[in-house]
Amino acid sequence: MNQDTSTAAQPAMGWRLKVGIAIFVISVLLPVAGIPLVATLGFSGAILASVSGVFLVAAEVLGVLAVAVMGKPGYLYIKGRVFGIFRHYAPPKAVGRARYNMGLVMFALPILFGWVTLYVSDWIPNLDENMLAYAVGGDMLLLASLFVLGGDFWDKVRSLFVHDAVAQFAEK
């Protein structure tokens, strides 16, 4: 009776799973490919906005429909496969002091830069001409800092939104 859990969790590749995957792929491609395609056709802004809204709503409905067609075992199978790929890139649970301090600097720098630029934008060279580059660079630095800070940082951020959370400091 000793079953391998990895094979037990995989549903048979039946028609429900295949149709569910196809519907899910369509739900992703509809806004990703459909909206740019409609934009290149030269419609007015109102028609483009309306069609884009319909595509986005249809994508959400198709996503729910895909889960309904696949069923719970199919959905859990797909979810396990997708998150299994990204599990290798997840931040470690705990990090050392130097890495944590560097991550805090990386986290705070784009936030402070965005705040300061409102007041001293004249002193920053080429800010007006390269606003997008500064914004994208700051966003990338902020996202990278979340991986440098490690998994414990997410628990600390989450505790900000939990009323009963209490900070516990390590004894020296």
Overall average pLDDT of the 69-90 stretch: 80
Overall average pLDDT of the 66-91 stretch: 81
On the question of pLDDT at 1 being above 60, the answer is no
Q: Is the pTM of this model over 0.75?
A: no
Per-residue confidence (pLDDT) for residue 98, from 0 to 100: 93
Residue whose pair of structure tokens reads 């792929």 in the numeric block = 25
The four Cα atoms 18, 84, 142, 129 give a dihedral, to 10 degrees, of -40
Comparing 11 with 43, the larger pLDDT belongs to: 43
What the block records as the tokens of 172 is 């020296």
On the question of pLDDT at 10 being above 80, the answer is no
Q: How far apart are CA 102 and CA 104, in angstroms?
A: 5
Domain boundaries, the chain: 5-89, 97-159
The SS3 call for residue 148 is helix
Q: Please, what is the angle between helix 15-29 and helix 45-86, to 10°?
A: 130
Mean pLDDT of the chain: 84
Q: How far apart are CA 38 and CA 54, in angstroms?
A: 12
What the block records as the tokens of 46 is 């109102």
Overall average pLDDT of the 28-51 stretch: 87
